[in-house]
Amino acid sequence: MGDDVVTGLRRPLVALLAGALLSWPAPVVGQTPLTLEDAMTRASSVTADERALSSAVDEAEARVQRARSGYWPRVDVIETVQRGDHPVFVFSSLLAQRRFSASNFAIPSLNHPDPVTNTRTAIALEQPLFDAGSTRLGVQAAELNRERTTAMRDSGRQDLAFRAARAFVRVLQVEATARATDAAVAAAESDGQRARGRREVGLVTDADVLAVDVHLADVRERQIATAGDLTVARLQLAEAIGSPLNASLELVPPAPRPGPPSEDGLVKEALTKHPLLREATLDVRLAENGQRTARAAFLPTIGVQGGWEFNGETLGAQQSSWLVGAEARINLFRGFGDKARLAEANSTRARANAQRERLERQIEVEVRAAFVQLRSAQAREDVGRAALTQARESQRIIRNRYENGLATVTEVLRAAEATLDAESRATAAAMEVILQTVALDRALGRL
């Protein structure tokens, strides 16, 4: 009686959840084929994340152009209007306007001049002749930063591609699980019909039918949960590749790839092409540039200036004048700040070298680990495929034995659970091979 109550309660719940889930709009016609390579390419080329990475490179290019502007002269046009009776202002304004006369030397006029208006239009030019290489070093630093940003973009694209690959494999795995649970539901329904048939002829009791019904409810719940997981996995895949979230995609499983060559060859490839290693190398070069820039602060600088200006009470009454000059500046003492800056640059270079060495070892570890994990996944796939074949054959034999009264319903259900578990393990192993293949490519910097 207790089993009947439980079964009676679970059936409406299962039916309700199944109806709600199956009513979710999921177009199956006009699906767009999508391969693993397509998914990774789209994720690393057309998504908002990729556009953000590319924009960073454009920003770095603009900074290079800004740094190169230091080679060009600076030209400013200055327009001012001033009025006042400050003695120095009046004296200098009258001279600049070329209106100074002998009467302006009178002591009362010098001490208490009448207010004067001065309109000044000036063109100022500054051109460094020698800045101890600061401009050149600044351009080199900007160019190195641009190269580093490009390497970071390439590394970021690999992350996006790997993220898309994981989402792709997740959909494949859940789809395979959905097919397995569908088959399990069909098998459980068949077992239920077989148990009812044997009960009608008095070969088994109601306990066998109830046990099969409980098993059927369980696999139906798994079927519902898997359908929900599949919907979520497809949403995540669409987001990862930049497709509309309601896009209908038909995933094309990738073809098996040959096993990788020796570990040593893979490590050598990674240590010459990996974008992260390019970043680390550029960090070292930037630190060296910082050292040279810090040393340049101890050298003199030379520059020239020129100016052409017009002064007058009004714009129409202005008088012109010009001025040129040169300046040499020698750094004698700045509170030991330049010495500290050089020490900082030396430490930055030492840190960059250490980080590059650490990254080389890290990349080697990742490549060797990915190689081992791929081999392990391939071995597990072989074992899982063999175990699934055995589980299916065992289920077939036990169902036949049950049909002939030589096995119990418990053995039938145990065989069904074993088959479903073997399906899950085999699917997970197959998907792990695909994902570890992509992970090895990522460790090598190939994506």
Per the model's pLDDT, the better-predicted residue between 24 and 292 turns out to be 292
Q: Is the per-residue pLDDT at 23 higher than 70?
A: no
- The answer to whether domain 2-72+131-297+334-444 and domain 76-130+301-333 are alike in fold is no
Other C-beta atoms lying within 10 Å of the C-beta of residue 11: 14
Task: State the pLDDT at residue 26.
Answer: 42
Q: What is the pLDDT of residues 51-101, one digit of tens each?
A: 999 999 999 999 999 999 999 999 999 999 999 999 999 999 999 999 988
Q: What is the pLDDT of residues 99-114, one digit of tens each?
A: 988 888 889 888 899 9
Q: What is the DSSP letter of 31?
A: P
Class of domain 76-130+301-333: mainly beta
Q: Which tokens go with 410?
A: 């418990």
| Range from 203-207, 328-332, 414-418 carrying the lowest mean pLDDT | 203-207
Q: Is the per-residue pLDDT at 17 higher than 70?
A: no
Task: State the pLDDT at residue 30.
Answer: 58
Residue with tokens 């036990």: 398
C-alpha dist (Å) from residue 280 to 283, 293, 351: 5, 20, 11
| Helix pair angle (337-403, 263-273), 10° resolution | 140
Task: State the pLDDT at residue 28.
Answer: 45
Q: Which candidate, 370, 442, 444, 427, places its Cα nearest to that of 40?
A: 442
Q: Which candidate, 124, 120, 122, 123, places its Cα nearest to that of 317?
A: 120
Pairing of strands 301-312, 116-130: antiparallel
Q: Which tokens go with 128?
A: 């460094």
> Is residue 409 a contact partner of residue 211, using CB atoms and an 8 Å limit?
yes
Domain limits of the chain? 2-72+131-297+334-444, 76-130+301-333
- 2-72+131-297+334-444 CATH fold: Outer membrane efflux proteins (OEP) (1.20.1600)
Per the model's pLDDT, the better-predicted residue between 408 and 359 turns out to be 359
Q: What is the pLDDT of residues 281-336, one digit of tens each?
A: 999 999 999 999 999 989 999 999 999 999 998 988 899 999 899 999 998 888 89
Q: What is the pLDDT of residues 137-176, one digit of tens each?
A: 999 999 999 999 999 999 999 999 999 999 999 999 999 9
* Cα 280 from Cα 274, distance rounded (Å): 10
Q: What is the DSSP string of 84-135?
A: E--HHHHHHHHHHTT---GGGGSHHHHHSPPPEEEEEEEEEEEEEEE-TTHH
> Is residue 94 a contact partner of residue 116, using CB atoms and an 8 Å limit?
yes
Residue type, 34: L
